[in-house]
Amino acid sequence: MRVATVMISCQQRHDARAETLPQLEAVGLEPKVFLSPCSPAGQISNAVVSRDALTWAESTGLPTLFCEDDIDLAPDFAWFLEHADPERVTYLFMAELTQGRMPNRAVSLYGPEVAEVALNALPMPRQLVPTRHWNGLWGTQCLLIPAVAVKALVRDLAEPYTAFDEHLRAYLERSRTPVDVALPNPVQHRGVRTARNGLGSGYRSASYNCPRLEGR
């Protein structure tokens, strides 16, 4: 699938970008980087740089692979990109944690059988799992966005009021756009320290290291 690949980042996060960009290039992608001064970093600055990235992507007329700057790609990342439906939003990273409220969220989104396998990092076939609803979708570490959705999101972000992932979820609920989650997640979030608070994020995918069952 031909895609427009964009990455958002803070100007200060050179080291994070330097680790991620070669991974994207190694699978044949040509990421275009959009930098925010992040002064301060926060929800609105995130939305503004996301709008800049999507505005460029809209001009290509292609589905957009939207990336943050601190992700790692699994060896089978390209399989998921090849098999994703360009008319659906596909989350290539979705944190599935085993503590707190996250198990309930995974069960709600994927159903109990898929959630159990993902949460416990059990062997599973490569698959694109339709989510049961849009509530609880968050984060924009790495996702594929259809061209028609990119166009609508550029309009929605004209006057940003919160972070991009909140705008995206509002659009998905309003438009009833179908969503798939790639499992096992072919993307991991490194959780590099943020410019905003100097803390790393603990949100990581439990399924990233799941053994892949062949034949799918």
Instruction: Kindly list the domain boundaries of the chain, sorted by start residue.
Output: 4-95+137-203
This prediction's pTM: 0.93
Would you say residue 216 has pLDDT above 80? no
For 4-95+137-203, CATH number out of 3.40.640.10, 3.40.50.1470, 3.90.550.10, 1.10.3720.10 equals: 3.90.550.10
Please classify residue 199 by burial: count the beta carbons closer than 10 Å to its beta carbon, then call 0-12 exposed, 13-18 middle and 19+ buried.
Answer: exposed
* Interval 64-97: pLDDT, tens: 999 999 999 999 999 999 999 999 999 999 877 6
Q: Rounded CA gap, 91 and 143, in Å? A: 4
Tokens linked to 135: 């509530």
Q: How far is CA 62 from CA 59, 109, 144, 157, in A?
A: 8, 27, 10, 19
* Interval 190-207: pLDDT, tens: 988 665 554 445 678 889
* Interval 139-163: pLDDT, tens: 999 999 999 999 999 999 999 999 9
Tokens linked to 175: 């438009």
Residue from 2, 133, 131, 154 nearest 65 by CA: 2
